[in-house]
Amino acid sequence: MDLQLEPNTFGPGRSIHIVVVAAPYQYFAEFYLQWTASGAGQVLVDVELIAGPVATPQLLVDDRGPSDRYLLSTNRPGSYVFRATATDAQGNTCFDTLQVDLPGI
C-alpha cells in the first residue's frame, strides 16, 4: 500500500490563502489538502486533524476515494497536523501525516 498526503494548489497557484482585517481584527485562512493512495482493490481514505485548535483528533472526512482533496477553513493561526489513513479491500492500512503552519499576521 502507498499513501501520499500533500498540499495542493488552488486560486493563483497557492495551497494557503489568508485574509486579515485590521479593525476589528479578523483572521481567516484556507488550506487545500490532497491525497493519493493505492492498494489491493478498492481503497478508502479517512483524514483527521490531530493537532491545532482541537484537543483530541477530529475526523474531517471518511471513506473518501483514493485520489481526492479537502479544503480546511479556519479563523485561528497556528500549526495544524493532518493524518490520512488508507484502507484497501484486504484490510491493509497505511497512513501519512502533514504539518501545515498558518502564520499569524
CATH of the domain at 11: 2.60.40.10
Rounded Cα distance, 87 and 85, in Å: 7
The pLDDT score that the predictor gives to residue 11 is 57
The pLDDT score that the predictor gives to residue 68 is 93
The domain containing residue 13 runs over which residues? 2-102
Look at the chain and report how many structural domains it folds into. 1
Share of the chain above pLDDT 90, in %: 54
Closest by CA position to 16, among listed 58, 83, 78, 64: 78
Share of the chain above pLDDT 70, in %: 94
pTM: 0.85
pLDDT, tens digit, 9 for 90 and up, residues 8-35: 766 555 677 788 888 788 989 888 899 9
7 within 8 A of 13, measured Cβ to Cβ: no
